[in-house]
Structure formats: structure tokens, C-alpha cells
Amino acid sequence: MVLRGNLAYMNQDDTVLIIGWADYIKIAVVKTRGWDGMKGTLGPGAKYVEILSVFQTDYYVSGLAPYGDALVVLAYLPDKEDGQTDSERGSAFPRQVTVL
């Protein structure tokens, strides 16, 4: 199964980045490297991301969006308990919306 990553900025100035991939959600802050006075430029790779927190979910993250101070997650619920493969099942697994 190939899982696509999801990205969303959480604030107006695009400094807090939310990353959803597989069954993990990461909260990161986008930072700018300091000024290199010797060269008169910013350091190599002017912007970088610092991970602030990581948490694992019971579902696969299919989408992310900010909702005020909360986070809305479109969740893909893997339900393999019945023993059927994806092709035998004939339809997609149920999805749900979660507000964190």
C-alpha cells in the first residue's frame, strides 16, 4: 500500500507545518537560518524544519486542515479483521473526520 503524505500550514504566517503520513502526525516549525556576515548571505539552505512533536494514530491520515486552534483530520480506517483483501472487499474502507 502506497500512502501519500499530507501537509498543511497551521497559522497565517506559514511557520507551523502539520505533516500527516501513514499513521503519524508531526507538528513542525519552519525556521530561517542566521545571516552569514562573512559571505553577506543566509546560510546554506536558508529555511529548515524543526519537528516539535510526533504522535501516532489508530488510523491512516488521508487529509489535514486547520480549524481555528484545532486540527481536522480525514482518517482512513484499516479494517482487515474480516480477512478480506482490498480486491475481495470491492469498496474502499470507511473514512471518518476527526477534530484534534
* Cell numbers representing residue 92 in the block: 474502499
Query: How far apart (Å, rounded) are the C-alpha atoms in residues 43 and 17?
Result: 21
| pLDDT beyond 60 at 84 | no
Query: How far apart (Å, rounded) are the C-alpha atoms in residues 75 and 23?
Result: 9
Query: How far apart (Å, rounded) are the C-alpha atoms in residues 97 and 64?
Result: 10
The 8-class DSSP code of residue 88 comes to H
Span 25-37, average pLDDT: 83
Lowest mean pLDDT among 41-50, 68-77, 90-99: 90-99
- Position 30 scores a pLDDT of 92
Percent of the chain at pLDDT > 90 equals 31
Lowest mean pLDDT among 21-25, 30-34, 81-85, 91-95: 81-85
